[in-house]
Structure 1
Amino acid sequence: MEPFNPPDLPFGENADFHEIFSALYPRLVSYARRYGATYPEDIAQEAFVILMQRETPVEHPTAYLYGTVRTLSLTERRPLKNQSISLEAVMEQGKGPDADDELLSQEVRERMKTLSPTFRETLWLFVVEDLSIRQIADILDIPEATVKTRIHRAKAHLRNQLNSSGSSGGLHVLA
């Protein structure tokens, strides 16, 4: 198999598709679940298929994959658009420990519920998914300056809430 080495993925020159798939697939499934996808595993797989079938190279493959998962998840949910997605479903409570739980304290996750959906999604992509400003801008199809503003305002909102409650749980995440 020919090496699959997108420029924005942290893999060596000889990384192949299977290695990249194994590393990103769980995160893409989790991201699809955030949108309430009925079949998040299928959506994550379909995103990889779409990327591999492109005739022209993608400048930021990771951002492209997240954007594709987002679009597919929203398209799947379109008939259900008037129903809201609970943050509990997003956080996958009861699924056992995962990277998301290690990054955000319980209180910060609770406080994230108070953020607007746009701020919450932007902050999630930045803090939990560890994506760059550029990648987030590509995924959400907004200017980089807007991403920076959303992240700044979301962090400030959470900091104010945590400070007013006298808690410091998770403030290191918001630095």
Structure 2
Amino acid sequence: MDAVVKKIIIEVKKGDQQAFSELVEIYKDKVYQVAYRMLGNAHEAQDVAQEAFLRAYTNLETYDINRKFSTWLFRIATNLAIDRIRKKKPDFHLEDQVAGTEDLNYYSQIATDEALPEDQVVKFEMQEWVQNEIMMLPPKYRSAIILKYMEDLSLKEISEILNLPVATVKTRIHRGREALRKRLRDS
């Protein structure tokens, strides 16, 4: 795969703009998944994925052909997602009162967690719950947890994507895991 990708990148650098669409085709799903897992919103994830490919195209001259392209591309997507998270402000809080009601807050609007007979539904709900709890982690821990456990990347790859030393990545994964464990236990 890496040899094919290198060949495509060389073609793009020579001016073959059409060759870049091959790179998009190869990586579009993975880039979208990284963005979606960090943002939890399909529309925003699509925006971030498109922006990541646009930035990759315009900055391709700075890409080191001897490094893994996917790592470079995931770094761009992760940084864009983190920037978007930092700029976002919550629209409401669960403790806020629902407009037009007396003493009714958004917590009361959340469905119960009663177990359903279908195992698949329960599994899906569990995954969604864990994903929601991951979304509540600070971005620096969230990105490390997602890249490690959901994208199954190595510490070295995560280190390159986040542009951090491996030791810092290990610390963020550990602290993120601890924060997630506490969130899951307390909710």
TM range (shorter): 0.5 to 0.7
For each residue in 1:90-112, what CA deviation from the matched residue of structure 2 results, as whole angstroms up to 9, or x when unmatched?
xxxxxxxxxxx97x712212322
Task: Give the Cα–Cα distance (whole angstroms) in 2 for the partners of residues 129 and 115 of structure 1.
Answer: 17
Code of the residue aligned with 1:110 in structure 2: it is: N
Task: Give the Cα–Cα distance (whole angstroms) in 2 for the partners of residues 161 and 82 of structure 1.
Answer: 23
Contact 1:111-1:158 at 8 Å conserved across structures: yes
For each residue in 1:125-161, what CA deviation from the matched residue of structure 2 results, as whole angstroms up to 9, or x when unmatched?
1112222211111121111011111112222332344
Larger radius of gyration: 2
Specify the alignment match of 1:39 in structure 2. Answer: 47
Contact 1:51-1:65 at 8 Å conserved across structures: no
In structure 1, list runs of 5 or more residues that go unmatched: 7-15, 87-100, 166-175
Counterparts of 1:9-158 in structure 2, within 5 Å, are: 21-32=24-35, 34=38, 36=44, 39-50=47-58, 52-54=60-62, 56-71=64-79, 82-84=87-89, 105-158=127-180
Distance 1:154 1:50, change over 3 A: same
Counterparts of 1:158-169 in structure 2, within 5 Å, are: 158-163=180-185
Code of the residue aligned with 1:119 in structure 2: it is: Y
Q: 3-state DSSP class of the match of 2:4?
A: coil
Q: How many residues get paired?
A: 137
Contact 1:32-1:44 at 8 Å conserved across structures: no
Contact 1:32-1:69 at 8 Å conserved across structures: yes
In structure 2, list runs of 5 or more residues that go unmatched: 8-18, 92-122
Contact 1:47-1:69 at 8 Å conserved across structures: no
Task: Give the Cα–Cα distance (whole angstroms) in 1 for the partners of residues 179 and 79 of structure 2.
Answer: 28
Distance 1:161 1:67, change over 3 A: closer
Report the identity percentage: 25
TM-score of the aligned structures, taking structure 2 as reference length: 0.54
Contact 2:34-2:147 at 8 Å conserved across structures: no
Task: Give the Cα–Cα distance (whole angstroms) in 1 for the partners of residues 51 and 86 of structure 2.
Answer: 18
TM-score of the aligned structures, taking structure 1 as reference length: 0.57
Task: Give the Cα–Cα distance (whole angstroms) in 1 for the partners of residues 35 and 58 of structure 2.
Answer: 15
- Give the alignment's Cα RMSD to 1 decimal: 3.8
